[in-house]
Amino acid sequence: MGINLSKGQTIDLTKPDRSAGLTHVRMGLGWDVKVVQKKTLFGGTKEVRKAIDLDASALLIGGGQVRDIVYFGQLRSKDASVQHTGDNLTGAGDGDDESILVDLARVHPEIEHIVFTVNSYSGETFEQIDNASVRVVDTTAGDAELAKFTLTGSGPHTALVMARVSRTSGGWQLTAIGTPGQGRTAHQLQALALGSL
């Protein structure tokens, strides 16, 4: 069972059952299609499904600069250590709707932080999105959940710096950030991501 992270909380990503640290993680983003009630011509109501397009992204940072961005328009980092599994435009389906895989052992040595962001490409705020959450799982242990962060109801913003994975002398650490912002793309969130360091 994972940890429900609080803003600013840090957890070590080393495994307690062996000396080697965690090597592969996945950030999963899930949300539901919005169901809204619409009035009909004769005074009744009907349920209408509204597609919401959230995007998961990873910004690779080194030397105080964004060196690479992995998102729906660039599915793989330059060093091939970070891979986006593809864009979900609606939130339809169960489980994680978008995922970003990270092979921590392959991350280029100049990269000190990987900052995970979520943005509403379609412009809805997180007050308007149902059952949205992000989680970090250990892919080498059958997707064992390490940490989870709830997004729904978090405020009138369209973007969030979710978490940061940072290189340390002893391995990697995960820090929950939870910084809200405005933006429809990962490129618009670079300053927000750098400010979270």
**pLDDT score of 79:** 95
What is the four-CA torsion angle of 60, 62, 67, 73, rounded to 10 degrees?
Answer: 10
Domain boundaries, the chain: 3-36+45-195
Of 110, 151, 100, 157, which is closest to residue 130 (Cα–Cα)?
Answer: 151
Residue 177 has what pLDDT?
A: 80
* pTM for this model (two decimals): 0.81
- Averages of pLDDT over each 10 residues, the chain, 197 residues: 56 53 81 70 72 87 96 94 79 70 93 92 80 80 76 77 85 81 91 89
In 10-143, beta strands by DSSP E: 10-12, 24-30, 34-39, 45-50, 54-62, 65-70, 82-84, 98-103, 113-120, 133-138
Partners of 118 in the beta sheet? Answer: 56, 160
- Using alpha carbons, select from 196, 167, 165 the residue that is nearest to residue 180: 196
- Is there a contact between 86 and 104 (Cβ–Cβ < 8 Å)? no
Q: What is the C-alpha separation between 126 and 10, in angstroms, rounded?
A: 23
End-to-end CA distance of the chain: 27
In this predicted structure, what is the pLDDT of residue 103? 93
How far is 181 from 161, CA to CA, in rounded Å?
8
* Largest separation between any pair of C-alpha atoms in the chain: 68
Q: Which residues of 85-95 are buried (b: 16+ CB within 10 A; e: fewer)?
A: eebbebbeeee
pLDDT for the residue numbered 1: 40
pLDDT for residue 12: 65
Give dist(CA 176, CA 178) in Å, integer: 6
- CATH assignment of 3-36+45-195? 2.60.60.30
